[in-house]
Amino acid sequence: MSSTSTTNLKDLFLNGIIKENTIFKLALSLCPSIAVTNNLKNGIFMGLAVLFVQTMVNITISLMRKVIQPKVRLPIFMLVISGWVTITQMLMAAFVPDVYAKVGLYIALIVAFASILARAEMFASKNSIVPSMVDGLGMGVGFLFALTVISFFRELVGKGTLTVPTGLSTQHVFTFINTKPVLIMVLPAGGFLAVGILMALFNWIDIRYMKKGAVSH
Amino acid sequence: MTGKDIFKITLNLVIVYLVGGFILAFVYANASPKIFRNNEKAEQDALKILIPGADFTKLGDWTIHDKHAKYFEAKKGDEIVGYVIQSFGKGYSSYINTFIAVDKDFIVQKINILGHGETPGLGDEIETDVFKDQFKGKDIDHLKVLKTETTEYIQAISGATISTRAVSEDAVKNGVAFLIKTLKEGGNKDVQHQHN
């Protein structure tokens, strides 16, 4: 892991998306994910917010790893996570209030994300800055991917619509199913159903088609 | 663990938290005046949308859920066309900052949600026009939330009954009740600092 050659970084990046996908493989941070994924726009914004905070936290923890006493590492990780979340919120509210009005809700939820703490503990606190950054990016993109797929599925089945963020100012809602949608899919119980179904599908595809890649792991 | 270890660990934690605290304080000190101005602007924009073409005069302040809120008089020329009151509703995970426009007879004309921290995907449906438009034409006796289909009262959002109630039965109802009490029954506009 100490080598920073290009292939290793590429593997590291893909690791977060496929082999250790936060939702589909590690089953972490399910609670906030299920809460927000009942429309596509929410899924995408939440994913982007996590991608940003995960990367910044990984970089910060990696920089600090030599000065953190192991026995108090968890409270320090929590400080870094909540600190980044708060700073991001304040800066967005001050400089890009229009964007903040749209994504502010999602950013506040990130403090409670187990996946971010998990990466700080398992990776960033043991690795140098470049691999930590790539790991954060990979984990974040994997999370964004998972949330996008889940929210696409839930909104389509549960409401028969897709809410697409175009830029950050407007959104288009278009309906293309005229029958009554399966409302349970947008309610919390449907979140578990959707995550379960998609998790099974993801793992089936992974085992069936990605087997060769998995052997080297 | 020796005493020296305990000292080292404590010092480590104290220093890291102090540095973190200073960074947060620094960012807050720089960002908060801008955030304040942004909020003021958002408030002005909200007023203009609630009663288009009217001029607003602040009548006073009131308090709900220990939060300070304002209320305004809307005039077109010399004629009073209605009032706008800011109110807060206690939602699922936040206080919902709501602006309510009423006409001279205290019938709700329009509401606007300025800020809240409700669950994205469930509670944040209170921001949608479909939900907000339900309030048009409702008087204070028709703000009850029902879980069934209704146009006479307010229909709850699936999965977000608490947020719906917070807006309708808490923020809007208390806001309108305060306006009626202060402006109509009181009949005296000097009573501007009544507390709920």
Answer yes or no: do B23 and B11 share one domain: yes
Pick from A192, A163, A160, A185: nearest CA to B158: A185
Nearest-angstrom CA–CA distance, B141 and B108: 11
Inter-chain residue contact A79 with B121, CB threshold 8 Å: no
Q: Which residue from B minimizes the CA distance to A91?
A: B31
Q: Which residue from B minimizes the CA distance to A71?
A: B9
Q: Does residue B195 belong to any structural domain of this protein?
A: no
Answer yes or no: do B179 and B92 share one domain: yes
Answer yes or no: do B41 and B135 share one domain: no
- Tell me the average pLDDT across B88-115: 87
Interface of B to A at Cβ within 8 Å reads 8-9, 12-13, 16-17, 20, 23-24, 27-28, 30-32, 34-35, 38, 42, 117-122, 124, 158-159
Answer yes or no: do B130 and B111 share one domain: yes
Nearest-angstrom CA–CA distance, A91 and B27: 8
Answer yes or no: do B60 and B148 share one domain: yes
Q: Which residue from A minimizes the CA distance to B27?
A: A87
Residue whose structure tokens are 């660990």 = B9
Three-state DSSP class for A74? helix
Answer yes or no: do B138 and B178 share one domain: yes
Q: Does residue B192 belong to any structural domain of this protein?
A: no
Residue whose structure tokens are 């203009």 = B48
**Residue A82 host element (H or E):** helix A73-95
Answer yes or no: do B105 and B166 share one domain: yes
Answer yes or no: do B72 and B148 share one domain: yes
Which pLDDT score is estimated for B141? 83
Q: Does residue A204 belong to any structural domain of this protein?
A: yes
pLDDT digits (tens, 9 = 90+) for B51-66: 887 788 888 888 888 8
Q: Does residue B193 belong to any structural domain of this protein?
A: no
pLDDT of B183 > 70? The answer is: yes
Confidence of residue A5 (pLDDT cuts 50, 70, 90): low
Q: Which residue from A minimizes the CA distance to B36?
A: A94
Main-chain dihedrals φ then ψ at residue B84, nearest 5 degrees? -125, 130
Answer yes or no: do B46 and B61 share one domain: no
Extract the tokens encoding B140: 């204070």
Q: Does residue A188 belong to any structural domain of this protein?
A: yes
Q: What is the DSSP string of chain B?
A: --HHHHHHHHHHHHHHHHHHHHHHHHHHHHHHHHHHHHHHHHHHHHHHHHSTT-EEEEEEEEEETTEEEEEEEEEETTEEEEEEEEEEEE-SSSEEEEEEEEETT--EEEEEEEE--PPTTTGGGGGSHHHHGGGTT--GGG--EESS--SSSEEPPTT-HHHHHIIIIIIIHHHHHHHIIIIIIS--TT------
pLDDT digits (tens, 9 = 90+) for A91-119: 888 888 877 877 777 788 888 788 899 89
pLDDT of B19 > 90? The answer is: yes
Answer yes or no: do B103 and B61 share one domain: yes
- Put simply, whether A38 touches B (Cβ < 8 Å) is yes
Which pLDDT score is estimated for A165? 66
Read off the amino acid at residue A176: F
Q: Does residue A1 belong to any structural domain of this protein?
A: no
Q: Does residue A142 belong to any structural domain of this protein?
A: yes
- Tell me the average pLDDT across A37-42: 81
Answer yes or no: do B41 and B96 share one domain: no
Count the domains in chain B.
2
pLDDT digits (tens, 9 = 90+) for A125-167: 999 999 999 999 999 999 999 999 998 888 888 877 777 765 4
Q: Does residue B196 belong to any structural domain of this protein?
A: no
Minimal Cβ distance to B158: which of A79, A101, A187: A187
Confidence of residue A180 (pLDDT cuts 50, 70, 90): low
pLDDT of B118 > 70? The answer is: yes
The residue segments making up the domain with residue A41 are 6-215
Minimal Cβ distance to B34: which of A95, A101, A186: A95
What share of chain A has pLDDT > 70, as a percent? Answer: 85
B14 against A174, higher pLDDT = B14
Within its chain, how far is the Cα of A55 from the centroid? 11
- Tell me the average pLDDT across A20-28: 87
Torsion sign, CA atoms A156, A162, A165, A166: positive
- Put simply, whether A87 touches B (Cβ < 8 Å) is yes
pLDDT of A61 > 50? The answer is: yes
CB contact set of B186 (below 8 Å; sequence gap of 6+): B194
Q: Does residue A147 belong to any structural domain of this protein?
A: yes
Q: Does residue A162 belong to any structural domain of this protein?
A: yes
Inter-chain residue contact B121 with A186, CB threshold 8 Å: yes
- Tell me the average pLDDT across A185-214: 82
∠ CA(B168), CA(B93), CA(B128), 5° rounding? Answer: 50
Confirm whether the ipTM is greater than 0.90. no
Q: Does residue A48 belong to any structural domain of this protein?
A: yes
Chain B residues with beta carbon closer than 8 angstroms to that of A83: 20, 23-24
Nearest-angstrom CA–CA distance, A189 and A1: 40
Minimal Cβ distance to B121: which of A39, A94, A97: A39
pTM, whole model, 2 decimals? 0.71
Nearest-angstrom CA–CA distance, A170 and A168: 6
Count the domains in chain A.
1
The residue segments making up the domain with residue B73 are 53-185
pLDDT of A55 > 70? The answer is: yes
Q: Does residue A43 belong to any structural domain of this protein?
A: yes
Answer yes or no: do B112 and B158 share one domain: yes
